[in-house]
Every structure is written in C-alpha cells, then in structure tokens.
C-alpha cells in the first residue's frame, strides 16, 4: 500500500505552459484557467502564476457560451435497491464512463463528442474545474452555474449522463501537496468563515452550514436535469488534512439527508476515498448508496487490480461498486522519468483494464483519469493523446450491449498457469475475459499464441449443459468458435481456443 506522504507528492509545472497553446502565453481575462482538478490520487500537476497566490474562482467564457444543443430523449437510467448495476429502461446494464476536464465549455464540448463516439454513456464531472462556484457568503456563483448548465445540456444532446462531483480534497487542503485552498472563497483570507480547511467537516460550523446550503441550492436548481444520474458529494475526503473518518461520515450523512429532500427523483448518492488507509466505516454509511473506488496501482497492473479491488469491496460492503477514476499511474503524465501512462505499449494495459472491468463485478468500466480528459491540461499531450483512446472501450461496449446483467455477481474461477482474468454471471449466463498471463507492465509483451488453457467456473443454479461462444476482443462481436460444456458438480470447465493477447466468452445455458 502506498504511504500517504508519497501520495501527496506534487510535481509543479508553470501556468504559462498550460495555457500557452490557447493564449500565446497571455491570460485570457474572460476565462479562469484552473489547475487539473481531482488530480487523484497523488502526485498532481499544479499550474502556477509567478507572484500570484489566488486564482479567481469564477469564469465567464463568453466565447464558448454560444453552444445551445438540443436535448434528445434519453432512456431512463436508475439504480434500483438491491441491484449491483444501473438499469437502462429497466434492464440492469454495464456502463462505460469517463472523467472529463477543462477550463472552458468548448473543451467539455469536445470531450463530450469523443465520449459519445467511443460508446461511453456516463461522464464524471468535477464542478470546481470552472471555479468553486460560491462566494465567501456561500451564495451560488450565477455565471458558474449557467456555464455548467450549458455543459449538462450538451451532454444530454450527446446521449451522455453526468455525475457532478461538488468538491474535492485539494479545495480543502491547507497542508502539504497540491492545493487550491488559497483561492477558496470560504477561506478566511478571502472573507469567508474558515480559519482552517478542516472546518468543513466540523458539524454545524459556519463553514459547513454555508457549503451544505450552497449544495442544497444546486440540487434544487438541477434536480430537473434529466441526465444527472447520481450525485457525488466529495472526492477523496480522506486526502483532506485533519479530516477524520467519524467527521467525514457525519459530513456525508448531513449532505445526503439534504440531497434526499431536495431531489424528488431520489438519485443515488456517493462520495469517494483515495485508495490508501483504512476508513472501512466510511463506505458502510447509509449515506453512501454505491462504493466509488479509484485504483492507481503503482506497478501499473490496472486490470488485475480492478478485479481484486472490486471483489474485495463487494465482499466487504455488499453495495454496488463504481470505478470513479483510474489509471496506469497516479503521477502526472509529464513526469520525469516518464510514467506508464505514456509508455509505448500503454494502450495494451488500458485495453486490458477496460475488459477486466466487465468481468470484475463493477457497475462500470474505463473511468480513466489522464486518458479521458485531464491530459487536456498538458500541452505535450492535450487532445491528440486523448483522441488516441477515443474508441478504446468500443469493442467491449458492443460485447455487453445485449447482456442483461440481472442477478449478475462475481463468480469464482480458477485457471491454468498461462492466463489471468475473471468471470461474472448468473444461473443462465456467464461472461468471461482472460488474457496472456505474461503480458504485464511495463512492457506488456505478448506471446505469439496461448494454447491449451482451461478455465474452471463455479456456476450457480442446476443447469447441466452450456454453450460457450468465444469472441474476438478486437471487435467484441465476432465469434471465433463455439463449444458445448457440461456441469460437473457445481463447476464447468472450459478449454480456451488458441489465441493471442486476450479472449472473451459468453456461456449460455442450454438445459
């Protein structure tokens, strides 16, 4: 497990470098340029202005506010009590999601278009990327709110649902590491009530009251926006200096009780932790409707980490698990030496993680941090890097498009030594994905062929005979071959056909 001090490392870049591609090194007075938000879970890039301590927390991007998309009818997406997946028009379904970022509406518009093209249906959006959205008296910044409403409508017109995240740890970090605390309007130096950032988590403090009332006002204002799928109260609360588990639980409980009154649609509620420490009581809170994990494994083995982390969370909390954000490395993608994020064969690791999510038991997949949107803050990467991954989830998305995930659960499986993966399913259908076990970071080397490998699965129910269809993971739709297998006790054993890299399958009950 990574140490907390390590996770608070900050890698600095200059403000002018971040904005030079758009402004020629000059600050556009109509647009507040903020640092990469949420840069979770550890080393973050902090754009800075020499001799400037405060970033104005509002924007008025008049150049981009002309976007007025027409909303299209959307299917109803809900999270029904007792289900592990969101339901799309009543059918439990697996969704792909992305983390979008930007300082302007036009940047979000570009990323939403890429999201739609790729097959993802959910965008997690950190609201503080346009500024924090409130004054030092806790009033909603009207221009800020209207800008987000343009983004929400653009997402709706693209068939994309959104999960707004109201705040994050760095907005309330008066300690070491990446911080926007100096520009927080509720900071005492800006005329607010908070001498210390931790006052947000002190019950009934003036700071907490103002913040919760601000959130309540937004919930009431936005509850009629049909493509809001859920509310995320706070991102990585355990990264906020001085916060304790008990205070954090009380804080999200207070926030959730307000949301449930203010939102007549009773959308599900979540809050997230960074992946360190042991706040096991946090996710047990009744305020949290689904778990929100952020895997960034140091070795870069994102696929197997997703599988193990989701299994662990399901076993421990018995709640649905959402991958809130993820990546091959938590370090900024311009780090020296280079991280796995920009490694020559990183796309293999990303693709494996996308498929691994399908069979992990999580309710969603992808949810990448740098690759989905935050790379837009890095001039050396920007949109070309993001576009490289535009359709990375498309084959897996097609593979699950006809799957009814009703009653799906993570199933126990064992394999021969040359493959790794997982399976999920119910008593009628099992979905599996396995890959070359030697294809590991940092090089992700592939063997020419994987041959004569087996997977043994413990399947629920009593079905005796099953048909296995093996799929090409490059398309998600092409069936390579098929076989019929028979139950032996509680298990079925599947012999995989020869393959290279990875293979997926669906096991369908015959009788």
206 and 58 share a domain? yes
Asked if 375 and 385 count as a contact pair (C-beta separation under 8 A), the reply is yes
Closest CA to 473 of 437, 436, 440: 436
- The CATH number of the domain holding residue 468 is 2.60.40.1180
Asked if 217 and 255 count as a contact pair (C-beta separation under 8 A), the reply is no
Tally of CB atoms within 10 A around 390: 20
Domain that holds residue 256: 4-400
Q: Report in angstroms the alpha-carbon separations of 201 from 236, 405, 454, 483.
A: 13, 38, 51, 57
Report the distance separating Cα 491 and Cα 423, nearest Å.
13
214 and 340 share a domain? yes
Joined tokens for residue 247: 């205070």
248 and 371 share a domain? yes
22 and 138 share a domain? yes
- The CATH number of the domain holding residue 81 is 3.20.20.80
In this prediction, residue 289 carries a pLDDT of: 98
Which residues are 456's β-sheet partners? Answer: 414, 493
Q: Among residues 400, 419, 450, which one ends one of the domains?
A: 400
Report the distance separating Cα 454 and Cα 500, nearest Å.
15
154 SS3 class: helix
119 and 189 share a domain? yes
Closest CA to 498 of 438, 434, 443, 439: 434
In this prediction, residue 73 carries a pLDDT of: 79
391 and 437 share a domain? no
Report the distance separating Cα 416 and Cα 140, nearest Å.
58
The torsion angles phi and psi of 384, rounded to 5 degrees, stand at: -55, -40
379 and 304 share a domain? yes
Joined tokens for residue 333: 């993608």
Report the distance separating Cα 78 and Cα 270, nearest Å.
14
Closest CA to 127 of 15, 235, 237: 235
394 and 422 share a domain? no
116 SS3 class: helix
Asked if 264 and 295 count as a contact pair (C-beta separation under 8 A), the reply is no
In this prediction, residue 277 carries a pLDDT of: 83
Q: Among residues 383, 400, 417, which one ends one of the domains?
A: 400
Buried b (16+ CB within 10 A) or exposed e, 283-298: bebebbbbbbbbbbbe
Report the distance separating Cα 309 and Cα 246, nearest Å.
23
- Tokens 């959104």 correspond to 162
Angle ∠(202,207,211) on CA atoms, nearest 5: 105
Report the distance separating Cα 396 and Cα 54, nearest Å.
44
Report the distance separating Cα 252 and Cα 406, nearest Å.
29
Q: Report in angstroms the alpha-carbon separations of 395 from 53, 300, 360, 366, 472.
A: 46, 22, 17, 12, 9
Q: Among residues 346, 377, 400, which one ends one of the domains?
A: 400
416 and 310 share a domain? no
In this prediction, residue 70 carries a pLDDT of: 53
193 and 102 share a domain? yes
- Low-confidence stretches of the chain (pLDDT beneath 70): 1-72
Indicate the number of domains in the chain: 2
472 and 358 share a domain? no
96 and 229 share a domain? yes
Report the distance separating Cα 94 and Cα 425, nearest Å.
12
Q: How many DSSP H helices and E strands does the chain contain?
A: 10, 22
Handedness of CA 289, 282, 209, 215 (dihedral sign): negative
Joined tokens for residue 143: 């221009």
Mean pLDDT of the chain: 88
């Amino acid at each position: 497990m990574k140490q907390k001090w390590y996770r608070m490392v900050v890698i600095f870049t200059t403000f002018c470098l971040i904005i030079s591609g758009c402004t020629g090194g000059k600050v556009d007075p109509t647009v507040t340029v903020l640092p990469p938000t949420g840069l979770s879970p550890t080393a973050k890039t902090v754009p800075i202005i020499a001799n400037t301590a405060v970033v104005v927390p509002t924007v008025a991007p008049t150049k981009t506010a002309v976007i007025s998309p027409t909303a299209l009818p959307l299917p109803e997406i809900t999270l029904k009590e007792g289900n592990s997946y969101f339901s799309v028009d009543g059918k439990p379904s697996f969704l792909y999601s992305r983390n979008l970022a930007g300082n302007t509406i036009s940047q979000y518009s570009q990323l939403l278009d890429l999201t739609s093209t790729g097959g993802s249906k959910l965008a997690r959006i950190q609201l503080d990327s346009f500024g924090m959205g409130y004054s030092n008296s806790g009033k909603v910044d009207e221009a800020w709110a209207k800008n987000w409403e343009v983004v929400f409508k653009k997402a709706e017109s693209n068939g994309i649902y959104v999960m707004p995240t109201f705040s994050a740890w760095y907005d309330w970090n008066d300690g070491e590491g990446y911080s926007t605390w100096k520009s927080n309007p509720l900071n005492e130096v800006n005329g607010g009530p908070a001498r210390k950032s931790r006052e947000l988590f002190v019950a009934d403090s003036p700071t907490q009251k103002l913040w919760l009332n601000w959130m309540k006002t937004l919930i009431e204002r936005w509850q009629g926006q049909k493509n809001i799928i859920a509310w995320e109260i706070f991102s990585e609360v355990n990264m906020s200096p001085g916060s304790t588990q008990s205070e954090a639980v009380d804080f999200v409980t207070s926030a959730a009780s307000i949301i449930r009154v203010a939102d007549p649609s009773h959308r599900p509620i979540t809050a997230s932790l960074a992946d360190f420490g042991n706040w096991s009581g946090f996710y047990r809170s009744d305020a949290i409707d689904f778990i929100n994990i952020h895997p960034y494994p140091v070795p870069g083995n994102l696929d197997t980490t997703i599988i193990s982390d989701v299994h662990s969370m399901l076993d421990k909390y018995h709640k649905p698990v959402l991958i809130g954000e993820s990546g091959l490395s938590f370090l900024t993608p311009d780090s020296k030496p280079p991280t796995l994020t920009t490694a020559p064969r990183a796309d293999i690791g990303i693709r494996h993680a996308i498929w691994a999510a399908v069979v992990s038991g999580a309710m969603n997949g992808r949810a990448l941090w740098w690759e989905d949107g935050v790379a837009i803050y890095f001039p050396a990467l920007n949109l070309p890097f993001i576009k490289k991954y535009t359709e990375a989830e498309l084959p897996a998305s097609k593979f699950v498009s006809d799957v009814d995930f009703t009653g799906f659960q993570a199933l126990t499986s064992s394999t021969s030594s040359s493959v790794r993966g997982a399976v999920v399913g119910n008593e009628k259908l099992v979905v599996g994905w396995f890959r070359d076990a030697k294809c590991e970071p940092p090089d992700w080397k592939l063997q020419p062929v994987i041959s004569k490998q087996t997977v043994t699965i413990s399947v629920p129910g009593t079905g005796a005979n099953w048909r296995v269809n093996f799929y090409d993971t490059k398309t998600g739709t092409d069936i390579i071959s098929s076989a019929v297998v028979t139950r032996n006790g509680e298990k079925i054993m599947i012999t995989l056909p020869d393959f290279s890299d990875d293979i997926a399958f669906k096991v369908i009950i015959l009788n």
